[in-house]
Amino acid sequence: VTLLTGFLGSGKTTVLNHLMQQPAMSDTLVIINEFGETALDHDLVTSSQENLTRVMGSGCICCTIRGDLVSALREIRQQFPEKAKQGFDRIIIETTGLADPTPIIHTLMTHPQVYSFYRLDGIVATIDLTTASTTLDRFEEAVKQIAVADALLLTKADLCEKQSLEPVLQRLKSINPAADRYKVN
């Protein structure tokens, strides 16, 4: 399981769309968590016959949906018994931009109905470099998303002025010095 997190508008769905176009992702299950009355992101994600998408739109995956994540992962095994036997190559969980990823990570690593069948492979966070400073100042969730990530995907770098980019990069490094960083467009 790869957890794809990042604040609102940081490019999670764009990254996911790009990934789902890759042949290596043909046996991937995508779980998209959306917050609000109208689920939108799942309409934006490209899928093929082989890519299965499960949308959970009942609330923030980090808190109210924590039990639902367990249910969703259990239901996946029941819905797709052949895939459950041989296993999906991977599962990507895209969180809502408002998510604190730590309860999700805790569930994936400690819940007996989850860790017996699934393994957390990594946490990827997208960061919109044009709004990173403001977002990090205003939203603790954004800081947590960066702090727990194994990899940071730095989006919209081409839209940043060079003098404003270096302080943002330094701030990201101070929050999570161990994360790999990749500029993506």
- The secondary structure element, H or E, covering residue 184 is strand 180-184
What is the pLDDT confidence band of residue 83, given thresholds at 50, 70 and 90?
low
Greatest C-alpha distance within the chain: 53
pLDDT value at position 43? 41
Q: What is the pTM of this model?
A: 0.82
Reply yes or no on whether the pLDDT at 61 is more than 80. no
If we measure between CA atoms, which residue out of 90, 176, 93, 78 comes closest to residue 127? 176
pLDDT value at position 69? 81
Q: ∠ CA 2-178-168 to the nearest 5 degrees?
A: 95
16, burial (CB in 10 Å: exposed 0-12, middle 13-18, buried 19+): buried
CB 116 within 8 A of CB 108: no
Which strands, in side-by-side order, build the sheet including 122-128? 52-56, 28-33, 90-94, 2-6, 122-128, 151-155, 180-184
When pLDDT is averaged across residues 149-165 and rounded to a whole number, the result is 92
Residues whose CB is less than 8 angstroms from the CB of residue 162 and which lie 6 or more positions away in sequence, other chains included: none
When pLDDT is averaged across residues 102-119 and rounded to a whole number, the result is 89
C-alpha distances in Å from residue 89, one per residue of 27, 84, 133: 6, 11, 36
If we measure between CA atoms, which residue out of 95, 88, 98 comes closest to residue 68? 95
